[in-house]
Structure 1
Amino acid sequence: MTRQTQHGGRFRAALALVSTLGALAGAALTGAAPASGAVEKERQPAATRIAPGVEYRSFDIPASRGTARAHVLDVDLRDPRTRVGLLYPGKVAARSPVSALADGAGAVGGINGDFFNITETQHPGVEATGAPVGPMIANGRALKAAVPDGQRFGPAMPPGVTTRAVLGVGTDRRARLGDLALDGEVRTRGSRLPLGGLNQYALPVGSVGAFTSDWGAVSRVRATCGTDTSRGAPCSTDTHEVTVRHGRVVASADTPGTGPIAPGSTVLVGREAGAQELRKLSEGDRVGVRHRLVAADSRVPFRFALGGYPVLRGGAPLPGLDTTASAVRTAAGISDGGRRLVLLSLDGSPEFRTGLTIAEVARTLRELGASDGFSLDGGGSSTLVSATSTLVARAPGADAVTVRNNPSGGVERPVPNGIGVFSGK
């Protein structure tokens, strides 16, 4: 028996348990009898081989609010022809549908990623950036750091979890959960300032943040709005920015600007105390900017990473997971010591739009064999017209991916990033 056959057998055996265990889980949450209509083992559709080491399947999950339909990509990272990486539009502050991101990158499958700055109703006249909440690493290169916890979009995180939480794959080809913190500074002739942000839609109060050509052309004003504990707090009235090119200040302004940033240039945006420090700089002054993302566990460097929040660790759901709010969800599970990645997205069509609670998502990932689980962006309610949850996969022999999970409202929502599955065949 080949390793691939053994792997597929374990996955199918785990799926055989999902309907029964899902029904029992729903009953435990509601106090009701187990839900009826569970898919019998022999009625479950066979997995479709998308590419070497990559299988797709869908199945139903009886849950506390009704039946949910799951769409799953099972990725065997032991296969040297298979890898996963970051999907994104080429800039941090930009969005595109998952199908377009996957086709543009040559991926055979993928799902949407992190929660993001989708609206700015509390700051009239301020442009929503579309930038994600958490850190981003693509091909080993740090693209952005995490916004303050109070500035995030998305449902409440479990106790003790921060916006620095990531799911990624290291240079050892193993998937894992972790935390990525920004380590950086701004060096001038008279001082060294800690760097408070990197290509973020929100900066800590009193800090200085760096914006590079990876940011895009979107206005940087949003970075100075809100506070560390309140996303809707007013924008700061004490701001300043300077543009550094090849190690020297070449421009400054009291209001954060807009437009693309040239390669080789860094725009430093300060608010409150940070703005006061930047005002001390004059054109021609030498300035050095250093930044990197540091993993809290100091393990193998991440080759790819994106934000969200953990729901399962070591086979156990995190304490405090929500058991009441059901929605169309997207999530990822890790098993086999990081050698297997399960990408899950729920169906948003009307008959399945009640979805799962976060607690049910964690339980489903565990039933699929995952020891660690991570929640990604998804639909906020059963009435949402256009939900974020999207899973795409390329049919064998096809030139492009297709959307497999019927997004709510039948329309893909543009997103800032996602997880792509790639095959070297």
Structure 2
Amino acid sequence: MVAPARRIATRVLHRVVHDDAWAAPTLDAELRRSQSSSLDAALATQIVYGVLRVLPALDAAIKQHATRPLRVDAWTHAALLGGTFQLLHLGRVPSHAVVNDTVELVRQKRGTRVAGFANAILRKIATMRPVDPQLPSKLVVPPWLDRTLRDSIGADHVEALLRLEDDATFLDLRLRADVDPDEVAAEIRAARPGASVARTALCSRGLRVSGGGDLRELKAYLRGDFAVQEEGAQLVGELLGALPGERVLDVCAGRGGKTAQLVEAVGPSGSVVATDLHEHKLLQISDELERLRLSTSSLERACVDWTAGPGRVVGLFDRVLVDAPCTGLGTLRRRPEILLRIGSQDAAQMGETQRLILEHAAARVRPGGTLLYAVCSPLREEGTRVAERADLPSFAPATSRSFGPKLLPFWTSQPFALGPWVPGSGPWADAYQILVWVHVG
């Protein structure tokens, strides 16, 4: 009988590697469907993310030991990736168990002949298994990306960005303003005795939880006491500085994580307009606001392609947030599957899209208002170079005093930019860039 964790991991890898699915929701759905034990869930998670973090090296090992040109179907490839990772990096797992389970997974889907091919490859790889296999310590990225990152943030920061920590399973929570963080932390510890709970370093309403499992089952979540939101994303919302009664525009709202943050900040006397290119994302915002016990009366939604202009969005706003679509390379440690989807020209193409969105959004900022641009990427092409190319004649760079109480470490010297900051140079999980202007009229 195949171990449940290996079957789950193969299903997830099949979808992520070959169908462009995202790892986290796909794995979460598989674990829920199979009602896995905590041990099986932990092993499946380790296999999936381990494979995605070093996939090029695993492919090279598989190709090296193939007896004929490697042309395998997607399922067999996913199974071989999982098996190879376990053999080379998981010391506590017996080789025979890995080989037997992986071969059986292939046999059940692809028959005896293909299973024999997989068996031959895995047995050869097993012979090169280290005496003391170690988990990968660093993400494996293509040479062109390594060069691009070094050009953007320097060699030391690249090492920090690609370094893998022992615990990459934490969740950041953003608490409602009327909720006591200490009470929520105590509730989480009581419900999850093995969890570590601490205040986030930069955000005033944040908690970081490690080893807590699925927090959506907690009473505090069901009461709407908190939203799951990475600290960098929380910081973007905080630095915009929205105040009660203001009119705010969230240009690339997505599913509304920051929109909810802004709705709470402006209160019932203010208003928030949330726009996105994809209507199905906008439709999810109301449900999240209701869960967080926030009124939807101050929210307007509109489907807009900001590369072409403001669409149906009219009037001026006190503050405009452009959390722009980007390569997402700042989230590599949490989403290593991004490496499967990005090419050497993508950042430059994305930069042109970002410039158009930024320029059109700027036209909706009132005189004296604030424009904030953010990307979860450390690349110059998506941050400071977008700002340099954008036509913003009526805007002046903001200083730290004019848009937020916190000074963060600067890598770039421009007065309008915070970041890029990266893991290893501070307490944050992702690499972000934030650029801020004031409309001087």
TM range (shorter): under 0.3
- Structure number with the higher helix fraction is 2
- Structure number with the higher strand fraction is 1
Relative to the length of structure 1, the TM-score reads: 0.27
Relative to the length of structure 2, the TM-score reads: 0.27
Larger radius of gyration: 2
Higher relative contact order (CA 8 A, sep 6+): 1
